[in-house]
């Protein structure tokens, strides 16, 4: 009788340790995933002034767009927290897309090797941010699922594990329905 009791206690103990360690591992993976996004964002912040500096001379008449890009960059650097950061980053991505679209109108920029190199670096950085976010969101979702599932959620509550926010892609421009002007005047 005593043996059965002991076996049950040991079993529960092992399960406790296993679940706790799984939570710790996932939590750290999530933190690491977030750091990866940060690294890529930093890379983007460093590249943007370079790009603006290079195209400034030729794109004199696009001051508005250039200022918007710089402003969005500075704002994105300063904000903290997953949700706010995600929002500012989305604004910055939009501004950059606009700038790239405008570059297409300037043949001397398109044929400039420095500009194409910078453009490739920025396209790549955009992708890196996107893929780092995808990686982070996958890990974070996994962590949240384990955290909220029974019976692990009991342990999570005991040791005060908190769920993590996802880095949402929600682009303000994409959220709104496209406005079509049917006023044929």
The residues of the shown chain that bind other proteins, judged by CB under 8 A, are 36, 40, 113, 116-117, 120-121, 123-124, 127-128, 131-132, 134-135
Nearest one of 28, 37, 29, 74 to 168, comparing CA atoms: 37
Residue closer to other proteins by CB (options 65, 119) is 119
| Closest CB 99 distance from other proteins, rounded Å | 18
Determine contact, residues 179/66, Cβ cutoff 8 Å: no
Residue closer to other proteins by CB (options 36, 152) is 36
Residue closer to other proteins by CB (options 36, 65) is 36
Query: What is the separation of C-alpha 99 from the centre of its chain, rounded to a whole number of angstroms?
Result: 21
| Closest CB 110 distance from other proteins, rounded Å | 13
Residue closer to other proteins by CB (options 45, 135) is 135
| Closest CB 34 distance from other proteins, rounded Å | 13
Cα(138)–Cα(141) distance, integer angstroms: 5
Query: Taking the C-alpha atoms of 69, 75, 81 and 84 in order, what is their torsion angle to the nearest 10 degrees?
Result: -60
| Closest CB 115 distance from other proteins, rounded Å | 11
Structure letter (DSSP) for residue 24? H
Phi/psi of residue 167, nearest 5 degrees:
-90, 95
The C-alpha R_g of the chain, in whole angstroms, comes to 24
Residue closer to other proteins by CB (options 97, 117) is 117
| Closest CB 185 distance from other proteins, rounded Å | 40
């Amino acid at each position: 009788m005593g043996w059965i009791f002991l076996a049950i206690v040991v079993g529960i103990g092992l399960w406790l340790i296993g679940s706790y360690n799984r939570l710790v591992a996932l939590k750290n993976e999530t933190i690491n995933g977030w750091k990866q996004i940060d690294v890529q964002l930093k890379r983007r912040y460093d590249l943007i002034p370079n790009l603006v500096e290079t195209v400034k001379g030729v794109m004199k008449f696009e001051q508005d767009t250039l200022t918007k890009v710089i402003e969005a960059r500075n704002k994105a650097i300063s904000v903290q927290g997953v949700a706010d950061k995600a929002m500012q980053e989305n604004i910055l991505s939009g501004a950059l897309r606009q700038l790239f679209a405008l570059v297409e109108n300037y043949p001397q920029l398109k044929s400039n090797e420095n500009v194409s190199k910078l453009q490739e670096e920025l396209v790549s950085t955009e992708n890196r941010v996107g893929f780092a976010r995808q990686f982070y969101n996958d890990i974070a979702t996994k962590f949240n699922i384990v955290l909220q599932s029974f019976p692990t959620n009991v342990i999570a509550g005991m040791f005060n594990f908190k769920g993590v926010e996802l880095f949402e892609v929600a682009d303000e421009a994409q959220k709104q329905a496209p406005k079509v002007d049917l006023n044929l005047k």
